[in-house]
Amino acid sequence: MLQRLKKARPPRTGGVFTIVASSYNAQYVDGMVKAAVRELKKAGGRTRVIRVPGAFEIPVVAARLAAGREHPDALICLGVVLRGETVHAQHIGEAVTRALMQIQITHHLPVVHEVLLLENPQQAVARCLNARHNRGIEAARTALEMARVLAKL
């Protein structure tokens, strides 16, 4: 069940955030990217957006960024995978999830996972283009909070 996002102004914390976003299903992913960038800017964060062909390509870019000397305060990974008639989408979703989790643990860097595995375009519209439930906003808020938590450790 979709939960409505609370209208909250994020505290001005600054920070550097990189969004790695899929170009595939761009009409939906772009909605999340725009929402995330807007939310991060409200908090005084600097953003960089890197586009990759599809969801499966997100982890290799995330890993390279996490291993770099000057990595961001958090990575935000955005994509949309729509289920089809085969199990291919399921395999993509599981592989991306495992890879992003491993990157986060290995590099001690928040990796926010909003690579959505959805049943149909209606679910994509509800989660990516609707301001009340936009997962890009949620991803940005999570990245901001995780950057604050890790800075305190």
Active site members: 88
CB atoms within 10 A of CB 52: 19
Q: HSE-up of 47 (CA within 13 Å, CB side)?
A: 23
As a whole number of angstroms, the distance between CA 94 and CA 36 comes to 23
CB atoms within 10 A of CB 137: 21
Sign of CA dihedral 26, 64, 60, 131: negative
